[in-house]
Structure 1
Amino acid sequence: MAETEAETIQAKMQKLLAEASKKSPEELVFNYKGVLYPRFMCSNESFQALESLEAREDDVMVVTYPKCGTHWAIKVIHELLYSLQNKDVPIDQAIIEFLNPEKVEHLKGKPSPRLFATHMYPDDLPKSFFEKKVKMLLIFRNPKDTAVSYYHFSNKNPVLPSFDSWELFFEAYMEGKVCFGSYFEYALDWNKHIDKENIMVVTFEDLKEDFKSELLKISDFLGLSLTEEQVALVESKTTFKSMKENSSNTHGKLGDVFFRKGEIADWKNYFTEEQSKELDAKFEETLAGTKLGEKMNYNKYCTF
């Protein structure tokens, strides 16, 4: 029996993970424009190839810092753009910086609408995504839960450097010495763009607490009109619980790595009072008073 495309992708991923598991933490990363990236997923050649990727006005881009709901958002948008329209389009590896140059070239021939995702800073994205006013959905999660989720993800994912303790990870996270750089610098850079009409900000917490309402807002942003039945169908397929239950099919052996808990306030099980105050001070210094900072509802989600 022939392998399905998903099985082929998973087999390649397992081979890559096995190779990565033999490398030292230093060998797993490289620096691109001052930001650390995972060497087994990104390359200078890929970044150079992305510069020639011409955006289309009907493209859709999911933008996230790692562990803020990337794969959840991709699944939601995929259902809205394709499944509800009865289009048989598989979920590709949509994170553009993970694509090799040949895959980037392949994207140029894909039919519209194309769905992309990225962890990249706005200044590093192909300029045409801003010139064509591509609709971008920015997903942010409170920085404390993001840190805890990223800690577990780093330690369970062989392509990322692991950390011997939560304390060591917290120090690296606060200094921006983790893959994809500083959460705070990333948020500040994207905060400069959130007033643009083609950009919508959604928080992980709002998705968790009122998924149906956020789903309707996202569909409106994409210019879609959903019936009650369609909303219910997308909701049933894209809850965190349903995606975690199906993760072994979608993400193979890494299913539990990508979909761990998906909870709010898990950070309280890890942060010391001193660490909490340190991050509070960092938030106050950087994001407090910004529109994105207000959207995060920090006092509600980040206090003991």
Structure 2
Amino acid sequence: MEKSRNISEDFIQKAMAAANSMRRDELLFSYKGTLYPTTICSPETFKALESFEVRSDDVILAGYPKSGTNWLSQILTDLIAISQKKTPGSESSLNAEEQKEIAYLEVGDAKKYERMTRLPSPRFLASHLRPENLPKSIFKNNAKILLLIRNPKDVATSFYHFSNGIVFLPSYETWNDFFTDFMTKKMAWGCYFEYISEWNKYADKENIMTITYEEVKENPALSVKNIATFFGIPLTEEELQLVLERSSFQSMKKNSDKTHGPIANALFRKGGVSDWKNLFSEDQSEKMDKAFEEHIAGTKLGKKLKYDLYCKA
């Protein structure tokens, strides 16, 4: 048990130590035209991921970095526990190996996929990857995917603070420097507008449910109910309340040392909406408005983001 518990913790600790000794320009590498963090992703892992066999009953979360994926991960892992007639948060709700394997498909060592074949169903899988970079088996086996999207201005704001709080990513002396990189496709996991644009091609598929960070924030109870229905997980009112309580920002931040260890502080900052207004200049706001119009405004996902409501001052 001790061995499996330390799989991800050891990996993260080693990755942090390695990143600490790297120059800024060494922290990211390019794979098939997209940048990724050198110490937590690798070409070998990406190659091995291609042949990873996703099961039809896997519970998958897709979302660009800083879209709220840690929040939705909490909700989904609790729903899985409930589907297995276990109490979320209890020691028995997940076996140690399952609990400590890194859920993000592209993060970890190349041998993780072999270990993951031993995990019981349903497995929880997450990814920041664009659809064309995911294993083909996801779409072949019709696994259900919850696609999480968030207004681009808050994504950029959260990503800026995250980059300055975690050693895996290049840090920035100024917001202006970060904004330039964000708008010129120099971010880990690539351009957010391209991410939305690529996922838009899959938006009408029956096995994909799209939800926005803002709608979960606005009505958490309804959102959790809809997510549970999509994955075919029956919920009692008592179970719903437990999931809501455990996934509140205050609760997750309080437990973050236990759940996320050494990277906890970088992951839980504000958890709000419209923080972008504290950073964006008028010129930057207009530049992002223009990029949104050009890339995704008329698409199904673009409309779902309610850009005028959340991104216009």
| Structure 2 CA distance for aligned equivalents of residues 16 and 43 of structure 1 | 12
* 8 Å CA contact retained: 1:121, 1:189: yes
Task: Map residues 128-143 of structure 1 onto 2, 5 A cutoff.
Answer: 128-143=137-152
Runs of 4+ with deviation above 2 angstroms = 2-16
Q: Distance in 2 between matches of 1:296 and 1:121?
A: 18
* Alignment partners' CA distance in 1, 2:163 and 2:76: 26
How far off its partner does 1:100 sit? 1.2
- CA RMSD between the two structures: 1.6
Equivalent residue in structure 2 for 1:293, among 289, 298, 302: 302
| Structure 1 match to 2:210 | 201
Over 3 Å counting, the alpha-carbon distance change for 1:7 and 1:104 in structure 2 is closer
Unpaired runs of 5+ residues, structure 1, are: none
Q: Which residue of 2 aligns with 1:56?
A: 55
Q: 1:91 to 1:62 in 2, by over 3 A?
A: farther
CA gap 1:234/1:4 in 2 versus in 1, 3 angstroms: farther
**Is residue 153–residue 258 contact of structure 1 (8 Å, CA) maintained in 2?**
yes
AA aligned to 2:264 is G
The answer to whether structure 1 residue 71 and structure 2 residue 70 are counterparts is: yes
Q: Deviations over 1:234-260 (max 9, x none)?
A: 111111221011111111232121111
Aligned counterparts of 2:9 and 2:119: Cα–Cα separation in 1: 22
**Whole-angstrom CA distance in 2 between matches of 1:157 and 1:57:** 34
Amino acid in the other structure paired with 1:74: S
Where do residues 1-304 of structure 1 align in structure 2 (5 Å cutoff)? 9-10=8-9, 12-83=11-82, 85-86=85-86, 88-89=93-94, 90=99, 92-304=101-313
How far is 1:289 from its partner?
1.1
Aligned residue type for 1:97: E
**Aligned pairs, how many?**
303
- AA aligned to 2:178 is F
Q: In structure 1, how many angstroms separate the alpha carbons of the residues matched to 2:9 and 2:132?
A: 32
Give the counterpart letter for 2:93 in structure 1: D
Secondary structure, in 3 states, of the residue corresponding to 1:139? strand
**Unmatched runs of 5 consecutive residues or more in structure 2:** 87-91
TM-score by length of 2: 0.93
Contact preservation (8 Å) 1:53, 1:108? no
The separation in 2 between residues aligned to 1:266 and 1:4, in whole angstroms, is: 41
One-letter identity of the residue aligned with 1:256: N
Q: Quick one: percent identity of the two aligned structures?
A: 45
Structure 1 residue matching 2:106: 3-state secondary structure: helix
In the TM superposition, residue 16 of structure 1 has moved relative to its aligned partner by: 2.4
* Helix, strand or coil at the partner of 1:181: coil
Shift of 1:111: 1.4
Task: After superposing the two structures, state which structure 1 stretch, 175-184 or 84-93, moved more.
Answer: 84-93
- Provide, for residues 245-277 of structure 1, a one-character-per-residue CA deviation record: whole Å limited to 9, x for no partner: 111111123212111111100000000000000
